[in-house]
Amino acid sequence: METVMGNGNGQATSGGRAANAPHSDLVLPYGDQRNDGVVQVSFTLPVAAGPLAEEAARQTMKLMGLEDPQVAEATAIGEEFTFFVGYGKLTRAVELSKLRVAAPMWEELDQAAVNQLVQDTLGRPMVVVGAATGSDAHTVGLDAILNYKGFAGNRGLEAYSAFKVVNMGSQVPNEELVAKARELGADAILVSQVVTERNVHLANLTNLVELLEAEGLRDQVVLVVGGPRITHALAIELGYDAGFGPSTRPQDVASYLAQEVSRRMLN
């Protein structure tokens, strides 16, 4: 079904958006003007450069749901591959009012407030164990959150008096992480993982949850996962308490951990 597009705010009333918003409840990508739906895409096809490859590229864009697909650039890369940049129009809009987005259920706290809250709640620093688990060798994200220097001018958890941080680094087997968490009496476990379509990454994340369950530790830790494709929704499905995606700052994680641990003490 093609969604009928109003220009500007033609359909705006149904969504329950703020009254002053000129936005439609139905939104399309912005190319040159509001709701023209124009997008730029880039991809590679395993086809030698030429007319056949370009037609294949146009058909690929059609399969993406793009109307009026145009190839703007076709570059041969190697003998049997072509890289494309194309333009096309999306005509199906996203309805904002139908989206369900999990709003974070905690407030942004500054460093002093986090330190104070953890001190008031636990009377000691919160023990946080972090690791990039399984086959994952990426530690940039984990280091950015945990290490003192932090990320984008926002200091890492090590800079807080509220946290005692143990960073186990990369390629840590889940069993080792669980054993370490038990040994240290961890209050929180931070796992970093770059998940892909390959089920192995998801399976590795759920395996950690199952191990913690089996060891009787699941209730005793705040379990957090972070990575480029992680959302809170996915984290909950995986059995984690929270999930942090790209552009997460250490302060976001610190605020969450402090408030979550305090909430649990109240329950």
Partner 1 sequence: MRETGKQLVDVVTGSGVRSVAIVGTAKNVGKTVAMNYLVSELSAQGLTLGLVSSGRDGEAIDAFTGQPKPSVTAPQGAWVVTAEGVLRGSGSGLEIADVLGTQGVFGRLVLGRAAEEVALELVGPRSARELSAIVSKLLELGADMVLVDGALDRMAAASPKVTDAVILATGASLDMDLEAAAQEMGFLVWLLSRPEHPVDAVAALAREAVESDKVCFIDACKDTEQRDTQQHTTYVLRITDHPTVLGIEDLILEQAGDAAAVVVPGAVSQAFLDKARAWAKRREFAVIAGDAVSIFATKRPGVDLYVTQPLKLLAVTVNPVNWLGMSHDPREMVGAIGASLMDVGHPLPVFDVVSGEKSTEGVGGMAMG
Task: List active site positions.
Answer: 149
| Residue number, 125 or 173, with CB nearest to partner 1 | 173
The pairing of strands 126-132 and 94-95 is unpaired
**Residue 61: Cβ within 10 Å count:** 22
| Residue number, 77 or 233, with CB nearest to partner 1 | 233
Q: What is the per-residue binding string for partner 1 in 119-138, x denoting contact by CB under 8 A?
A: --------------------
In the chain, the amino acid numbered 74 is: A
Interaction between residue 249 and partner 1 (CB under 8 A) = no
Options 77, 112, 140, 179; binder of partner 1; rule CB under 8 A: 179
Residue 84 CB-density burial (10 A; 0-12 exposed, 13-18 middle, 19+ buried): buried
207-236: contacts with partner 1 (CB under 8 A): 207, 209-211, 213-216, 218-219, 223, 229, 231-236
| Residue number, 55 or 210, with CB nearest to partner 1 | 210
Whole-number Å distance between alpha carbons of 65 and 36:
14
Across the beta sheet with 66-76, the strand order is: 38-45, 82-90, 66-76
CB-based burial, 112-132: b 16+ in 10 Å, e otherwise: ebbbebbeebbeebbbbbbbb
Interaction between residue 39 and partner 1 (CB under 8 A) = no
| Residue number, 76 or 102, with CB nearest to partner 1 | 102
How many CA atoms does the CB half-sphere of 257 hold within 13 Å? Answer: 38
Interaction between residue 176 and partner 1 (CB under 8 A) = yes
Q: Which residues bind partner 1 (CB under 8 A)?
A: 98, 100, 102-105, 175-176, 178-180, 182, 195, 197, 199, 202-203, 206-207, 209-211, 213-216, 218-219, 223, 229, 231-239, 241-243, 263, 267
